[in-house]
Structure 1
Amino acid sequence: MRGSCSWPFVGSEALAAGAVSWHELGRDHRAILPNVYLDKRVKPRLRQRIVAAWLWSHRQAVVAGVAASALHGADWVDDDAVIELIWRNARTPDGVKTYADLLLDGETRSWGPVRLTTPERTAFDLGRRGPLGQAVARLDALARATGFKIGDVAALAARHPGARGLRQLEVALDLVDAGAGSPRETWLRLRLITAGLPRPQTQIPLLRPNGRWYFLDMGWEDIKLAVEYDGDQHRTSRPQFVRDAERQEYIVGVGWTHIRVLAEHRGDDVVRRVRQAWEHLTRR
């Protein structure tokens, strides 16, 4: 196409419109899906890949699953995530997956010219598929972004009595918590629940002397036990390391037991540490 194009386009349409010649198409662009091209200088991000998959479907498919959740604002969706479409075509290129699922009235909305599933329908699909822990993490992220109501998703599920994965969806919805700040926080919360500990509260507010707030990842406010997952930022950023140290000193200083969990910590060891702290604090 004349000049740079940062969004995918249908090659045959561009040729027919005279927007690009065969020579320019091959020289300046690459096919990222059959008959869908992108400027060679552009590395496709998730939204560009979503548009490309929709174009590949002849603009007929409805974007669903994790791709739809990303369009709704959910975090933690990688640029190379599989683009899920609701469309009756089982022959898919790499990076695209289709489902011949039933969509009822009110279960889609628009993102520009693209159709995608609503937050409630997206939650319905995410909760039914994949391992339970992954499903809950994806639902947590979607709930954090959209604030969808569990009851609305359950009502939608009732309109699809023959759909696969309804039992997992029911379990996953019961575990959803929009307070999760990352998939690893979801993992940590589920690990504690599975171990038999009481369900922790998330994003516990803690007032600071300056009138601002700390928010603890999860824990039990009645016994002042906090459990937090530390990402890599404390290693890669010296200012963040200093802020984290000051934060932990304050939390402990106002009477909380604070357990930090790192990526290197094994799940069983984390549970043991939390259980020991729980038992010690509840015996007082």
Structure 2
Amino acid sequence: MTAVFIGSEAVSSRKVTRHELQRWYRPVYPGVYAPRRHNLSLRDRTIGAWLWSGRRAVISGIAASALHGAQWIDDDVAIELAWSNTRPPRGLVVRDEVLADDEVTRVVGLPVTTLARTAYDLGRHLPRGQAVARLDALMRATPFSTEDVFLLAKRYAGARGVRRLRAVLPLIDAGAASPKETWLRLLLIDAGFPLPSTQIPVQRDWRLIAMLDMGWEKYQVAAEYDGDQHRTDRRRYAHDQRRLRTLAQLGWLIIRVIAEDRSDEVIARVRNALLARGWRP
């Protein structure tokens, strides 16, 4: 039996008895069960949500982006469905929205919004920063055409959130290797700095020395977000220190950003570095 299943179907097919269903399994959504000791993954919950709909809904939003390969999505994120039942149980978000035939595909046997429609929904329904981070992750995993998304915005010109979508689409960058990198890039853009490039290769003697998160090659200034792994992994820390020394020898100024840094402090450090290298606002 699969990890999640419709209880009544399992009983009628005699895969479990009603007693076994109550004793060894737990409800995930109304009528949908999983083994009590099974840790539900995002995919398990997504399949369960689809089963709850009677196999009629289309998976959309963040859950759809995960099925398309996007990373940095927690297992407990709300599962979004396109369906007519707008009174879902806890953990599900259901939207009764129009879906054309060319906006639905199948991934691992499940009906899912296409890449373009998934991006269209993410850009409309999420706040700006979250939307760009989710769209960056989707573009990094499975590149899609923003022109196709703009066409959907034109198709549904009066839909809620289309103006927000049009604003975030030009900000998508597949070079973001984490949501925090997206946050940092947006911080720099909003501060009025030149548009930073992402994943900048730095070479010495034809050998790749580093791939910088983001920055400005013209001024040899880069900004990088350091996650916890840079602090807790001693081998990673030693590698980073050697890498920074080499970059300094090559003339690069690296602004390292951590979670505890205040936004205004980050902006000031980047501004001072760019000004020192000849940038003029």
State TM-score, norm by structure 1.
0.96
**In the aligned structure 1, how far is the partner of 2:38 from the partner of 2:62?**
23
Question: Once the two structures are superposed, what CA deviation does each residue of 1:242-276 show, in whole Å capped at 9, x if it has no partner?
Answer: 11111111111111011100111011100010011
State the partner residue of 1:43.
39
Q: Secondary structure at the match of 1:74?
A: coil
> How far 1:113 moved relative to its partner?
3.0
State the partner residue of 1:237.
233
State the partner residue of 1:109.
105
Q: Which range moved further: 88-97 or 274-283?
A: 274-283
Question: Once the two structures are superposed, what CA deviation does each residue of 1:147-186 show, in whole Å capped at 9, x if it has no partner?
Answer: 1111111112211112111111011001111100111111
**In the aligned structure 1, how far is the partner of 2:279 from the partner of 2:207?**
33
State the partner residue of 2:189.
193
Question: Do structure 1's residue 138 and structure 2's residue 134 form an aligned pair?
Answer: yes
**In the aligned structure 1, how far is the partner of 2:269 from the partner of 2:92?**
42
Aligned pairs for 1:99-178 within 5 A = 99-178=95-174
CA contact (8 A) 2:70 2:141 kept: yes
**In the aligned structure 2, how far is the partner of 1:233 from the partner of 1:91?**
41
Question: Do structure 1's residue 216 and structure 2's residue 219 form an aligned pair?
Answer: no
What letter matches 1:125 in structure 2? D
- Name stretches of at least 5 consecutive residues in structure 1 with no aligned partner: none
CA contact (8 A) 2:45 2:79 kept: yes
State the partner residue of 2:269.
273
Q: Which range moved further: 207-216 or 182-191?
A: 207-216
CA contact (8 A) 1:53 1:96 kept: yes
Question: Do structure 1's residue 282 and structure 2's residue 278 form an aligned pair?
Answer: yes
> How far 1:210 moved relative to its partner?
7.4
RMSD in angstroms over aligned alpha carbons? 1.3
What letter matches 1:243 in structure 2? H
Corresponding residue to 1:183 among 175, 179, 182 = 179
CA contact (8 A) 2:84 2:95 kept: yes
CA contact (8 A) 1:137 1:183 kept: yes
CA contact (8 A) 2:219 2:279 kept: no
- Name stretches of at least 5 consecutive residues in structure 2 with no aligned partner: none
Alignment: residue pair count: 280
CA contact (8 A) 1:6 1:39 kept: no
Q: Secondary structure at the match of 1:282?
A: coil
Corresponding residue to 1:13 among 1, 9, 19 = 9
Among the aligned pairs, what percent are the same residue? 51
**In the aligned structure 1, how far is the partner of 2:103 from the partner of 2:140?**
20
> How far 1:212 moved relative to its partner?
3.3
Corresponding residue to 1:248 among 244, 248, 273 = 244
Question: Once the two structures are superposed, what CA deviation does each residue of 1:170-226 show, in whole Å capped at 9, x if it has no partner?
Answer: 110011111001111111000111111111000001124572352100000011001
Q: Secondary structure at the match of 2:188?
A: helix
**In the aligned structure 2, how far is the partner of 1:12 from the partner of 1:119?**
34
